[in-house]
A = this chain, B = another copy of it.
Amino acid sequence: MPEYAAPVRDLEFVLHELLNVETSGIEGYDALEPDLTGAILEEAGKLAGNVLAPLNLVGDTQGCKLENGVVRTPEGFADAYAQMCEGGWSGLDCDPEYGGQGMPYILNTAVGEIFVSANMAFQMYLGLTHGAYSAIHAHGTDDQKATYLPNMVSGQWSGTMNLTEPHCGTDLGLMRTKAEPQGDGTYAITGQKIFISAGEHDLTENIVHLVLAKIPGGPEGIKGVSLFIVPKFLVNDDGSLGNRNSVTCGKIEEKMGIHGNATCVMNYDGATGYLLGAEHKGMRAMFTMMNEARLGVGLQGYAQAEPAYQAALDYAQERLQGRAVTGDENPDGPADPLIVHPDIRRNLMDQKSFIEGARAFTLWGAQMIDRAHRENDDLAEGIISLLTPVLKGFLTDQGFEMTVQAQQVFGGHGYIEETGMSQFARDARIAMIYEGANGVQALDLVGRKLGADGGKPMMAFFEMVKTFIKDHEADTALKADILDPLKAASKELQTSAMFFVQSGVKNPNEALAGSYDFMHLFGHVVLGYMWARMAVVATKALADCTGDPAFYEAKLATARYYMARRLPAVEMHRARILSGASTVMALEAANF
């Protein structure tokens, strides 16, 4: 069973040395002193390593069981959940008015990485609650907030998001679930929702479902969708639990992974629902939190790659097999450790350079979200909205690929479930699908975000990279190994964006046929930018002799690796994009 050690040092590096959180001037960030963040990350790491990680394989093996409408979570999950709530982890960045600790979102993101790495299926129970909390917090009436939020912040109640129906996932305009006004301000919700994570379980005494449904007589399609609060148990005026609502779990799905989280078919049979936000504005309410929700899923991508990498690295250091081609490195042993082999190193460096780059990207994104919300910074909002589909799509695709590479280091042992390497890949796979499948992210990026606000956020991103390069290219070593490749990659991105602008006007398929490649090209440029920034920080730290030279030298070496070995993917993506739509759309559907 893989062990997990939280990468506290690297998280601190990103927070304090790369992003300088405590001096970044964002409201509330002054609290993020290294002493505090260090203590919080250490505590989270202990809980993750000692309690959550040991339950990861248990959760995968046992899965959840549905019996007479009751879902039993795997052994140990209830205890672990209680410990999470007791530690206040469920409300770390929640509103103090409802019992939260009011920390910035960025800190919750850093802590979230740790918990997701340790046990993704488990952490989803808390993640879903957080999403529902955010929606009620943003759109609820004072009464609704008072009724639901305190128990959600404390973790006593959990939450869910109900969007998908059997015949519609991406295209929610086809939705059939209906909400009929009952004359008393409530609605009767009837319909079936599928793929509801944490839809039913035994961890909390109540579950607050947020459900999208159509009020009869409203506008057609997506414009007639409203959002409702549908608690499993109705809540009495005094806050105590009342009657069981008419919502039941009809089935839990057998899935490829995240077995520890119950994915439910939820049947609403005239269940009592309370309108959240305005009538017919359900999508807007649901999507207020979209950047955070998608960032959280992008995070799952690299957060699954992290423990898989830790396990692969351990294995590569310990497993003796073959000899280094340049001469024995373990002459007294029967063979050398795997890590002497260049191709094993390539594999490990791919993982390491991805994960650390992705961590920087994600926390930088979280900082932008905080800046947008806490400072009402429209440009930050614009840039993170642009980058969100990249973060979600690119990090989950690559994160999955890296779990597969980590599994490969184990050879045949990686295919056996007891090593846990298969689980990382199987669990990571879902992040490419949910919260908007990655093809939909690419469509969002090219179809909406690229040209949003007259292209201002996109131009601002290019400008940011350009300025950064200009500011640092006096350092010739940095220039050659790091900044020049970044400049070239950024140019490929610009060329591709211009191609879309020019050809997409005539035929939108010209842009959409390259959308997936553009998302990946963009992702590589962002990670290249992150690595260049980290290289600058590391160079300075080494020059200043701030201690821990091995750490900074490893950062520099990994930055160089990313530029030399990962960034060349942009050439491929650019070539594909510029080939346009003709070969993609040539075949008649019937002739496939």
Contacts from A to B (Cβ < 8 Å): 164, 167-171, 173-174, 194-195, 253-257, 313, 317, 320-322, 325-326, 334-335, 337, 339-349, 352, 400, 404, 407-408, 411-412, 414-418, 422, 425-426, 429-430, 432-434, 437-439, 442-443, 447, 507-509, 512-513, 515-516, 550, 553-554, 557-558, 560-561, 563-565, 568-569, 571-572, 575-576, 579, 581, 583-587, 589, 591-592
In contact, B417 and A256 (Cβ under 8 angstroms): yes
Which one, B335, B414, B416, contacts A254 given CB within 8 A?
B416
Which one, B335, B512, B568, contacts A343 given CB within 8 A?
B512
Interface of A is mostly: helix
How far is the CB of A283 from the nearest CB of chain B, in Å? 15
In contact, B416 and A343 (Cβ under 8 angstroms): no
In contact, B575 and A571 (Cβ under 8 angstroms): yes
Closest chain B residue, CB of each to CB of A588: B550
Which one, B195, B254, B320, B349, contacts A583 given CB within 8 A?
B349
| A-B CB contact pairs (8 Å), 26 listed | A168-B321, A170-B321, A174-B321, A194-B412, A195-B412, A256-B416, A256-B425, A317-B589, A337-B589, A341-B439, A342-B512, A343-B439, A343-B513, A345-B513, A346-B516, A412-B437, A415-B433, A550-B591, A557-B583, A560-B583, A561-B583, A564-B576, A565-B576, A568-B575, A568-B579, A571-B572
Most buried by B among A257, A400, A425: A425
Q: Could you list 12 further interchain pairs (A-B, Cβ under 8 angstroms) beyond the known A254-B417, A256-B415, A346-B584?
A: A171-B320, A171-B322, A174-B321, A325-B512, A326-B508, A345-B587, A349-B587, A415-B430, A558-B587, A560-B583, A561-B584, A568-B579
In contact, A345 and B584 (Cβ under 8 angstroms): yes
In contact, B335 and A171 (Cβ under 8 angstroms): yes
The 10 closest A-B pairs by CB, nearest first: A568-B575, A564-B579, A256-B422, A342-B512, A572-B572, A342-B513, A561-B583, A557-B586, A571-B571, A254-B417
Chain B neighbourhood of A168, CB < 8 A: 321
How far is the CB of A547 from the nearest CB of chain B, in Å? 15
A398 to B363, CA, bound (A): 32
Which one, B411, B432, B589, contacts A433 given CB within 8 A?
B411
In contact, A339 and B589 (Cβ under 8 angstroms): yes
In contact, B592 and A348 (Cβ under 8 angstroms): yes
Closest chain B residue, CB of each to CB of A335: B171
A391 to B439, CA, bound (A): 29
Chain B neighbourhood of A343, CB < 8 A: 439, 442-443, 512-513, 515-516
Chain B neighbourhood of A430, CB < 8 A: 415
Closest chain B residue, CB of each to CB of A194: B412
A571 to B569, CA, bound (A): 8
Closest chain B residue, CB of each to CB of A565: B576
How far is the CB of A362 from the nearest CB of chain B, in Å? 21
Chain B neighbourhood of A346, CB < 8 A: 513, 516, 584
A339 to B171, CA, bound (A): 14
In contact, B345 and A408 (Cβ under 8 angstroms): no
When A429-B415, A553-B591, A592-B352 are in contact, do A170 and B342 touch as well, CB less than 8 Å?
no
How far is the CB of A25 from the nearest CB of chain B, in Å? 35
When A345-B585, A352-B592, A561-B584 are in contact, do A170 and B415 touch as well, CB less than 8 Å?
no
In contact, B507 and A326 (Cβ under 8 angstroms): yes
A342 to B586, CA, bound (A): 11
Chain B neighbourhood of A412, CB < 8 A: 164, 169, 194-195, 433-434, 437
In contact, A416 and B255 (Cβ under 8 angstroms): yes
A404 to B557, CA, bound (A): 32
In contact, A587 and B195 (Cβ under 8 angstroms): no
A173 to B584, CA, bound (A): 49
Chain B neighbourhood of A438, CB < 8 A: 408
How far is the CB of A389 from the nearest CB of chain B, in Å? 12
How far is the CB of A420 from the nearest CB of chain B, in Å? 11
Chain B neighbourhood of A164, CB < 8 A: 412
In contact, A515 and B589 (Cβ under 8 angstroms): no
In contact, A585 and B342 (Cβ under 8 angstroms): yes
When A411-B169, A592-B313 are in contact, do A417 and B583 touch as well, CB less than 8 Å?
no
